[in-house]
Structure 1
Amino acid sequence: MPDDTYTFDDVSVVMGTYNEEAAIDTVLTDIAAVTDDRANVVCVDSSQDRTPEIAREHGATVVEQPPQGYGVAVHEAITTPDRPVVVTTDCDDTYPMERLPDFLDAINDGYDVVSGDRLYHGADAMPDTNRYGNIAFALLASLLLGERVHDTTTGMRAYRRRVIEDITWTENTGLSAELLLRPLARGYRVRELPIDYRERAGETTLDPLTGGLAIAKSILTVGVEERHR
């Protein structure tokens, strides 16, 4: 066990939000309940609906920015808070906030990155195209890194702040994969933790074809860069 043992007073839960008024209330209510309202919440928002208003009603810090893509929003979200542990999630109620204590326990066990593996239990709520695409992404990443990876694009992860600060992040749509692959390639302690995945509330804004191609390109780019560092 490391000398520093973190509690939820040391945790920021962050997310990019875009027109998620159907789910944001549930997600923030669940975070508050699980963490006894001790975790700091940051939403980087580009919405045109009531998402930022609802987030502020829950006491979240809302950083507004024009729509510039997934990675730009999440990059802002992970670098805004100053607490030593940063947990990313999506705001569509697909991720199990009740597992936050398990992610924090893994950080306290010495892991630098704890990544939620949605595919372990089958991810039946995930559309088939997305599920098969995510399996392919994981196989591609595993081949490039020479290490088995199971879910490269999960939105639920915990990071020690030093990992976020020590690495230069370059990707946009593929940032979720980059946030796992670069730490793995550089020898940080990474654990994939099986989680359940629920059907999303509200409509997705990501086109599976163009988004999938962008993610695959990011995995190739990051994998090649890290092999030649």
Structure 2
Amino acid sequence: MSEFTFDDVAVVMGTYNEEEAIGSVLADIERVSGGRAEVVCVDGSDDRTPDIARGMGARVIEQEPQGYGVAVREAVLTPDRPVVVTTDCDDTYPMERLPDFLDLINEGHDVVSGDRITPGAETMPRLNRLGNRAFAGLASLLLGRRLHDVTTGMRAYRRDLLHRIDWTENTGLSAELLMRPVARNYRVTEVPIDYDERAGETKLDPFRGGAAIAKSILRIGIEERFGTSLDSVTTTDTVERT
């Protein structure tokens, strides 16, 4: 079987008002892939983000803003190419690592996940860094496997895996995209990556967003490990206490 090349790669992202960063991200993908990788942006912006993306050759799918997971789910399921790489559009992830991710897919991995936390992630706000370590610890406990960074936005997937699993989360989709493959014994590896300071303003409230991510991790872990849903556990517990 021949190895995948950048002609087989789609780099996808959800975009929302990232006109300050999107040009740099797309230029990096173009440079690193030699212009061979397809780029797909699922966009809900009201600024110039989609115009910049189209002008730089990206395929733009416009969508009413419905949250992170809705956009990224559409993005990962859209390409026909056999390798799908996710990234964020805020210029925080190292596109120069794309060849390394592709090499690991060619070695037989189903998911290659960029680990920002192990190298330190000094550019990440301290509250976010602590939260991401807590998310990884919770996911590790639930799944029985040590995970280092379950909320990273940079991963490579074999496309067929993405279409075999039903993705259910919104704010917590990044965790789900790692946890369900791990729980179902796909070949998953984490690789340390650098993480840069973001360009533009963050859209996620750290407290409300963090609570939503933690609830997603609990739901996914319980479903995958014990074959039941968090909602049914909560309902049963409530009935027993009534």
Same fold (TM over 0.5): yes
Distance 2:2 2:224 in 1: 30
Distance 2:226 2:145 in 1: 16
Amino acid of the residue matched to residue 59 of structure 1? G
Q: C-alpha offsets along residues 120-170 of structure 1, whole Å, 9 cap, x if unaligned? A: 110000000100000000000000000000000000000001110110000
Amino acid of the residue matched to residue 113 of structure 2? S
1:4: Cα distance to partner? 3.9
Distance 2:104 2:216 in 1: 27
Report the secondary structure of 2:27's partner residue: helix
When the two chains are superposed, the root-mean-square deviation of aligned CA atoms in Å is 0.5
**Unaligned stretches of 5+ residues in structure 1:** none
Distance 2:111 2:166 in 1: 16
Contact residue 46 and residue 65 of structure 1 kept, 8 A: yes
Which residue of 2 is the match for residue 8 of structure 1?
A: 6
In the superposition, the TM-score normalised over structure 2's length comes to: 0.93
Amino acid of the residue matched to residue 201 of structure 2? E
**Unaligned stretches of 5+ residues in structure 2:** 228-242
Which residue of 2 is the match for residue 71 of structure 1?
A: 69
Q: Tell which structure's C-alpha radius of gyration is larger.
A: 2
Distance 2:83 2:226 in 1: 29
Amino acid of the residue matched to residue 192 of structure 2? P
User: Which of 158, 175, 179 does residue 181 from structure 1 map onto?
Assistant: 179
Aligned length: 227
Which residue of 2 is the match for residue 124 of structure 1?
A: 122
4+ residue runs of structure 1 moved beyond 2 angstroms? none
Report the secondary structure of 1:41's partner residue: strand
Q: C-alpha offsets along residues 80-120 of structure 1, whole Å, 9 cap, x if unaligned? A: 11100000000000000000000000000000000000011
Sequence identity percentage: 72
Distance 1:106 1:209 in 2: 35
Contact residue 4 and residue 108 of structure 1 kept, 8 A: no
Distance 2:42 2:180 in 1: 23
